[in-house]
Each structure stands twice: as C-alpha cells, then as structure tokens.
Amino acid sequence: MFLEVRNLTKIFTVGFLRRKEIVAVKGLSFNIREGEFISLVGESGSGKTTTAKMILRLLRPTSGSIIFKNRDVWSLRTLNDLRWYWRQVHGIFQDPFASFNPLYKVDRVLYQVFALLGDKDADKESLVKEALEEVGLRPEEVLGRYPHELSGGQRQRLMIARCYLLKPKLVLADEPVSMIDASTRAGVLQLFSKLRDEYKTSVIFITHDLGLAYYVSDRILIMYKGSIVEEGSPEEIMEHPQHPYTKRLREDVPLLYRKWPDF
C-alpha cells in the first residue's frame, strides 16, 4: 500500500490546575493508492487538519502508525531519511496570506526548497521558471516581488509551484481554496488534477465542502468527531448516504448535477 494510516489517535492535554484531555483523532484508519485523489470531509473540529499534520510529521501521534511505502513515518530519524520523506510528501495549507515569510521575495521562497532538501546541483533557475509556468504564473511577473504584492490566488498558486518543484508523490491540501475567490478556485483544483495525471501524485484533499469533494475526488471519507464514519465513491456518498452526519452534510449540497424533472 502506498500510504496506510493505522489506528491513529491524537489526544491533547489542556488546562493548568484542572487538566483535561481532548481527543482530536480517535482510532483513525484509512489508506490511499498511488495516483488516487481522496477527500477528507468534515466540519471544523472534526480532526481533519490534525490528521494532516500527523502525516506531515508536524504533530506526533499519541498512538497508531503511518506507513508510507512500507516505512513507518514516525520511525524515520536520520537527515537522509527525513529528506527522502519530505521530498515525496508535501503540505499545502489554507491561508495563502500566512504561508510565506513577508520579508522574503518569491525567488528566495522557491530557491529555499533546494537548500532544505540538499539539491545543490539542480538547475534552479530553469526548474523554478518551469514550476511557475506549470501553475499559470509568469516568471517575469512574480520573481523579484514580495508575497504581499501578489493576489491571494497568485499566492495559492505559488504554494503549489513550491510543492511542484520536486514532483511529490503525495500532497496534503488543507482547505486550499477556502480563502481565494470563486473565479480562481477551478484553476487551482485543476492543478491538483494535473499533478495526479502527469506524475501519479496522490492527493488528500481536506475540505468541509461535500459538494466540492464530489467533483474532484475518486473517493470520499467523512470525518466526524475524530473518526471516519463513512467512506465511498462520490456517487455513493451523494446518492446513498448512510450515516446521519453524512446525510446532514448532503442536505446542504445543491443538486446541480441532477437533471430538472420534466413538466
């Protein structure tokens, strides 16, 4: 299996005098195949982002395991092993306004990828220009500028260009279109499909929008209170939801894909 999450649990301890445990993720298990596009769908607080952070090694699980290409992600220790992992697994987060250091120009943001991953001999200039062009940005319009000089849609595309530079095998996209206008959402989503189609990149798309997940996913996983309560193809989830929570999400989705009845 390409990526397998086994019985993943994350418990946060809060409070000072009166300690309290909050279970953010509980016994979570799922897998994803190479080149597959899956969506984790649920409302805020359902554990979606916590799950992504554990897969990205940004947050240590309380228990459970994450297996990527037959290797336990949290057993990786050496710098070479970590570079091997982060070369193949990347995260794209919700807020394009807070994802870049405002003191760094776009050039430095992109060239840092090579420094962090040890690619000293790479043809950086040509690779950066290629990545920008692939995501629909003109190098001459963005290079040399600061992130705050770009629009929200441009910044989101820049995040994808940074990810695209090393052709990752797995991308975790956490609400990547929630803070950009509707006119640029379709273009951003097409970039993920392009990564999947051209490089067999697997995508875990995190969203609260079941309708959006329906249009982009191969498979949908419904998360509720830290657990997966339902899983299936987009058609199964939309046409025949089983869990009460899925039915609630389903009620908020307009039936645009259905034909109007004949009168």
Decide which of 187 and 50 is more confident.
50
pTM: predicted TM-score of the whole model, two decimal places:
0.87
- The tens digit of pLDDT for each residue in 34-90 reads 999 999 999 988 999 999 999 999 999 999 999 999 999 999 999 889 989 988 999
pLDDT at position 262? 47
pLDDT at position 56? 94
**For residue 93, what pLDDT band results from cuts at 50, 70 and 90?**
confident
Q: What are phi and psi of 137, to 5 degrees?
A: -110, 140
pLDDT at position 263? 40
CA 189 to each of CA 177, 194, 196, 217, 225: distance values in angstroms, whole numbers, following the listed order: 8, 9, 11, 11, 27
- The tens digit of pLDDT for each residue in 117-166 reads 666 666 888 888 888 887 788 899 899 999 889 887 788 888 888 888 87
Q: How far apart are CA 175 and CA 144, in angstroms?
A: 28
pLDDT at position 260? 41
pLDDT at position 136? 80
Which domains are assigned to the chain? 3-251 (3.40.50.300)
> Once rounded to an integer, what is the mean pLDDT over residues 83-98?
83
pLDDT at position 255? 61
> Comparing C-alpha atoms, which of 172, 168, 163 is closest to residue 52?
172
pLDDT at position 252? 77
pLDDT at position 261? 46
Q: How far apart are CA 140 and CA 237, in angstroms?
A: 44
- The tens digit of pLDDT for each residue in 191-236 reads 788 888 888 899 999 999 898 899 889 999 999 999 999 999 999 9
pLDDT at 94 over 80: no
pLDDT at 258 over 70: no
